[in-house]
Amino acid sequence: MTPPPPRYPVFLSHPNIFASKFNSPIDLFPLQHQCVCVLVCEEEVFLKLNCYDFVIKMANNHNYKNGGVKTKSIASSSYSSGIKSKPPVTSRRNSTGSTVSGRVRVAVRLRPRNSEELSSDVDFADCVELQPELKRLKLRRNNWDSDTFEFDEVLTEFASQKRVYEVVAKPVVESVLDGYNGTVMAYGQTGTGKTYTLGKLGDEDTSARGIMVRAVEDIFAETDSISVSYIQLYMETIQDLLDPANDNLCIAEDPKSGDITLPGASLIEVRDQQSFVELLRLGEAHRFATNTKLNTESSRSHAILMVHVKKSVSVSGENVSSKSHTNRTMKPPVVRKGKLIVVDLAGSERIDKSGSEGHTLEEAKSINLSLSALGKCINALAENSSHVPVRDSKLTRLLRDSFGGTARTSLVITIGPSPRHRGETSSTIMFGQRAMKVENMLKIKEEFDYKSLARKLDLQVESLIAQHERQQKAYQDEIERISLEAKKQISQAEKSFADTLEKERLKYQRDCMESIKKLEEQLAANKFKEESLHNRPNEELIEAKKLLHNETLLRKAAEDKVKNLQNQVVQWKRSEVAGNAEILKLRKMLEDEVNQREKREEEISELQNQLLQLSFDADETRKQLESGDHSVDMSGDMGSLISPVRQPQMKYSGEQEKGSVAKLFEQVGLQKILSLLEAEDPDVRIHALKVIANLAAEATNQEKIVEAGGLTSLLALLTSSEDENIHRVAAGAIANLAMNETNQELIMSQGGVSLLAMTAQNADDPQTLRMVAGAIANLCGNDKLQLMLRAQGGIKALLSMVRCRHPDVLAQVARGIANFAKCESRASTQGIKNGKSLLIEDGALVWIVKNANNEASPIRRHIELALCHLAQHEGNARDMITGGALWELVRISRDCSSEDIRILARRTLSSSPSFQVELKRLRLNAG
């Protein structure tokens, strides 16, 4: 849910922006869908409404980082400021996420006065007054009455080319990179800066580069190459600026997609920024331009730059639990195609002012006719007319997709400040107001790259075949090596067994023969002894028998050893049998490897069949797409490739405008939003802070924010955070709260002025200083807090911020000084204060006198009021006389454009005795 119009400048960023400057009825292409409105913050070009949606979701789901269960929150609203010609804002996203609707976004840019206007209009005020912080433009009817208009962005004459690009074209370029078509167009009177805004090359000063150069620079940051066409529409003839020989191009419509194409136009591929700049320089050399009274180099044709972008999208969310590697690689890559069209329209002009005659007159007629046809188309679309006259002009046919089509369009209208051209300025503003009512249905362009997938599968198949062959060869080599090693080991074992067996057999044979020989010798000796000693006692015979028995036992033991050796021989033979079994086992392993090879060959064949089937399916899908059949089921794996739209959209309802804040508190709760100020994520913190700042702009919300501790949190952020973006937004929120007198006392009591002064001392960004100066300026308007404000360094902080020299910052400083001087004047009138002004004591008089005649009207008006209020206190008279303020008071009493200030200055001079004496001495008359 969104709050009322924020204090921060907002530009309606993405889809198509076209505007017209004609007072006649304005039409454009058929409106078939509703639209989406997305607001972008000035500083970071951030989606404003998405910011609120993001903060609401974070507040409803603030425990998501700690594993909490997410809850669903739906918020939608819209707002209206009550200003004239502000169309309602709506937003919608369809259920598929592939198409969204979006309103044409319009920004207005004011050209500074040129030398001719400075000399001829010196006695006349500008007919245009800008209020960029409120996105408003005032067009004066006369000195007493004016009309007020609101746009998506109001760019002052001080706006840089970079600032214009970021708020007008950068959101469109980002959408083109996401796969959408986008259009950026400039419209306005001749000589108001359209070509400077779009096509400035910036050869000498890079800061002066236009939207074309900056857009392509951002595109090259995301892609390696683009294709460019550059044409001009001259007197209803389409000519190729890159190839002047193609001077009569035809418009064709693609029968498949319905897109408008130029078959004969040059389409050049560009790979770097320098080549693109050279193409632009070549095209500008061929463009028709002439010298008129309104512009020395007036474009006499409509220039159209077409940039074709093709970007591959990385697939996310693939199924990592697939059954095979093949299933995970069967999804084709997604390619997004976007087209950026930059249109530099020829300036509308009146013949009596431009002085056109002859051929130049015919050119002006052709330009006005094509712009009139464009205006009629825009008016028809804005009023939801059943008929849109697209074919009345080639310009409207070329831009059919940009209005009521599928492109995201952004328009910048350029105006001048001179009151002599008030009619043309009014017509341009009305063109922009009507264009803001045109809505487009944006559609992303994606397609599957089946050729890339087929090449990838071919490489995978070849890789698998080569890997299989390498493995098969490795298996065969390993089997041969194992077989050779087994044979060698068996041969060595057999030889070792035979040698050992032979040695053992010979050893035991020798031992046996020696034992037998010894026994025979003993037996012979015993027989000899028996024969010679048969008469000896029986004891000797018994001893001999024992010896014989022992020898018999030894012989038996020898025989047992022989048997053991024979058993060992048997074991060696068994080991030989086991070796043979090992050989058989190795042979069986070889057979298994052969079988595995056959299985892998079957798998390769199956992969080839799947590749053929995939190619057939791709051809069938391509035929269906070419025949216009959009009923292909994308809910499976292919559907998961289509990524959602990058930036979520919100819905708005005009019936809930008055209850937006109440519903925000009701659905989210202020405490939840405040709790996000302490989040670790800097994006969450800055988004929540912006919501608080915009809520603080409503008086009904200020008391709730203070009661919930919001003021304390904002002041704490000024000291706890080092992010200047947070300082800027927090200061803006404090400035909004400081509009309430009760809140002013709370800010002072909590040392808010000291914190703001410290922030101003450390800040360099003009927007941050503007917010801080605005907050202090609001506090300066409280009579009760002046002494405390000065004690906390408020006046010195204001004076220190003039170092920035930015007009917006100086305007806030001047406003704060005027408020402070007014309170002092009131206190002096009531007799409460005596003595010199605190402003003069702190040295503010020098800056006041120096800027009393500042060119910026807001600064000058506040300084003039401050001088008048300071002069009402007689104690300041002497310092003002010596400081040169008396001369400025005399000038104000005579030449001030505001009658109230002029009367106040005269009354002040006439009521001061010191001033009267000095005027008599100088022989001056205050009136």
DSSP 372-420: HHHHHHHHHHHTT-S---GGG-HHHHHTTTTSSSSEEEEEEEEE---GG
Structure tokens at 777: 């300026």
Q: Each residue of 420-454: b (16+ CB within 10 Å) or e?
A: ebbebbbbbbbbbbbbbbbbbbbbbbeebebeebe
- Does domain 633-793 bear CATH number 1.25.10.10? yes
pLDDT of the residue at 834: 62
pLDDT of the residue at 122: 60
- Judged by DSSP in three states, 300 sits in coil
pLDDT of the residue at 897: 82
Q: DSSP per residue over 632-677, as a string?
A: ---SSTTGGGSPPPSS------GGGSTTHHHHHHHHT-HHHHHHGG
**Beta 260-261 vs 252-253: how paired, if at all?**
antiparallel
Q: What is the pLDDT of residues 227-247, one digit of tens each?
A: 999 999 998 899 999 999 888
Cα–Cα distance between 29 and 104 in angstroms, integer? 12
- Please indicate if the annotation marks 639 as binding a ligand: no
Report residue 226: phi and psi, to 5°. -140, 165
- Judged by DSSP in three states, 852 sits in coil
Q: DSSP per residue over 486-555, as a string?
A: HHHHHHHHHHHHHHHHHHHHHHHHHHHHHHHHHHHHHHHHHHHHHHHTTTS-HHHHHHHHHHHHHHHHHH
Three-class DSSP labels, 119-149 = HHCCCCCCCEEEEHHHCEEEEECCCCCEEEE
- Please indicate if the annotation marks 189 as binding a ligand: yes
Cα–Cα distance between 135 and 139 in angstroms, integer? 14
- Residue 459 burial (10 A CB sphere; 0-12, 13-18, 19+): exposed
- Please indicate if the annotation marks 353 as binding a ligand: no
Cα–Cα distance between 793 and 801 in angstroms, integer? 12
Name every residue whose Cβ is closer than 8 Å to that of residue 800 and which is 6 or more positions away in sequence: 757, 760, 761
pLDDT of the residue at 86: 38
Cα–Cα distance between 735 and 724 in angstroms, integer? 16
- Residue 853 burial (10 A CB sphere; 0-12, 13-18, 19+): middle
- The CA-atom distances, in angstroms, between 324 and each of 319, 328, 330, 463, 673 are 11, 7, 11, 16, 47
Contact 197, 210 (CB under 8 A): yes
Q: Is 709 left (phi over 0), alpha (psi -120 to 50) or beta?
A: left
pLDDT of the residue at 73: 31
Q: How many residues are recorded in the chain?
A: 927
Low-confidence ranges of the chain (pLDDT < 70): 1-98, 121-124, 290-291, 293-297, 314-332, 351-358, 448-450, 452-453, 532-541, 603-668, 831-834, 925-927
- The CA-atom distances, in angstroms, between 757 and each of 56, 224, 387, 772, 867 are 32, 48, 60, 8, 24
Cα–Cα distance between 126 and 139 in angstroms, integer? 9
| 10 C-beta neighbours (distance < 10 Å), count | 19
Q: What is the pLDDT of residues 701-721, one digit of tens each?
A: 888 888 888 888 888 888 888
pLDDT of the residue at 294: 66
> How many degrees, rounded to 5, is the angle at CA 281 between CA 280 and CA 285?
115
- Please indicate if the annotation marks 192 as binding a ligand: yes
Structure tokens at 444: 């992303």
Contact 409, 15 (CB under 8 A): yes
Sign of CA pseudo-dihedral 265, 269, 272, 274: negative
pLDDT of the residue at 526: 82
Q: State the Cα torsion 579-582-584-589 to the nearest 10°.
A: -160
Contact 798, 817 (CB under 8 A): yes
| Residue whose tokens read 């078509």 | 181
- Please indicate if the annotation marks 596 as binding a ligand: no
Cα–Cα distance between 16 and 440 in angstroms, integer? 7
- Please indicate if the annotation marks 195 as binding a ligand: yes
Kindly state the helix (H) or strand (E) to which residue 579 belongs, with its residue range: helix 538-626
Domain 83-448, CATH among 3.30.450.20, 3.40.850.10, 3.40.50.2000, 3.40.50.12780: 3.40.850.10
Cα–chain center distance at 816:
37
- Please indicate if the annotation marks 518 as binding a ligand: no
- Please indicate if the annotation marks 162 as binding a ligand: no
Domain 805-927, CATH among 3.40.50.150, 1.10.1740.10, 1.25.10.10, 3.90.1300.10: 1.25.10.10
pLDDT of the residue at 604: 60
| pTM for this model (two decimals) | 0.43
Name every residue whose Cβ is closer than 8 Å to that of residue 554 and which is 6 or more positions away in sequence: 515
Contact 393, 369 (CB under 8 A): yes
pLDDT of the residue at 41: 33
